[in-house]
Structure 1
Amino acid sequence: MGQGGSDRGRRAHIAGAAAEEIAIRAYLDRGYTLAETRWRCPHGEIDLILRNGAQVIFAEVKSSATRDKAAARITAGQMQRVMASASIFLDGEPQGQLTDVRLDVVLVWGVGEVEILENAYGHG
């Protein structure tokens, strides 16, 4: 790949990191605590893992120029990977798979606009 591709990749990485920081701030402002960022396992990566009391929140951060474009970046495959990864993370929790969990999507767009879609994937 030429230099242009690596520049695009670098810009995407920086934009993703900035979006994650905005998402973290939105959760911290609501009183949540940050447990992990970019947590990895064999199934993939979870952008953010937060805690709200005994509840564990797994958050996928999506960013784009507009809210609709950010929302359009959510795929069924990603949702499945996040759920599979969350299951592995929960194995290390005191309550294991019985832990109170929520799977969120955080949309970041424009100049720092943010919306947390709570329980965006549902669970069951």
Structure 2
Amino acid sequence: MSNTRQQGQASEQLACQHLQHQGLRLLTQNWHCRQGELDLVMLDGDTVVFVEVRYRRHAAWGGAVESVDARKRARLAAAAQHFLLQESRWAKHPCRFDVVAISPDDHSHPRLDWIQNAFET
């Protein structure tokens, strides 16, 4: 497994644990369809939360939040719609898109920023 993939999995696990400590419940992780992948799908009260986890080692290449551009947002929205079609029990719940941005701080420990309602579709 590549270092990039390992870092991605570690970042998703860190984000999931953080969100669970905040009271969210994991519905599924790494959900795939033709439209794309949903890193985490969680429940916050009665709200279905589609979470995009982004790790960036170097801010010079653009921050983690900035990397969720219009094209990525459209793919996430399409994947979320497909998820709600396949998992119809969640279709009537309110939904939102969050981003968890992870980057190393000055001491190489991960810094986690949770942006709720990061974008609208």
- Do both proteins adopt the same fold according to a TM-score greater than 0.5, normalized to the shorter chain? yes
Structure 1 or 2: more strand by fraction: 2
Deviations 1:6-65 (A, max 9, x none): xxx701101111110111011011011111111001101011100122210001111012
CA RMSD after TM alignment: 1.7
Percent of residue pairs identical? 26
Moved over 3 A (4+): none
Indicate yes or no: 2:48 matched with 1:56: yes
Partner amino acid for 1:115? D
Task: Determine which structure has more spread, i.e. the larger CA radius of gyration.
Answer: 1
Structure 1, unmatched stretches of 5+, are 1-8
- Picking from 74, 89, 98, the partner of 2:83 is 89
More helix by share: 1
Which residue pairs with 1:42 in the alignment?
34
| TM-score where L is the length of structure 1 | 0.83
Tell me the alpha carbon deviations over residues 46-93 of structure 1, each in whole angstroms, 9 at most, x when there is no partner. Answer: 111001222100011110125662223222111101000101111223
State how far apart, in whole Å, the 2-side matches of 1:95 and 1:14 are: 30
What CA distance in whole angstroms lies between the structure 2 residues aligned with 1:71 and 1:107?
Answer: 6
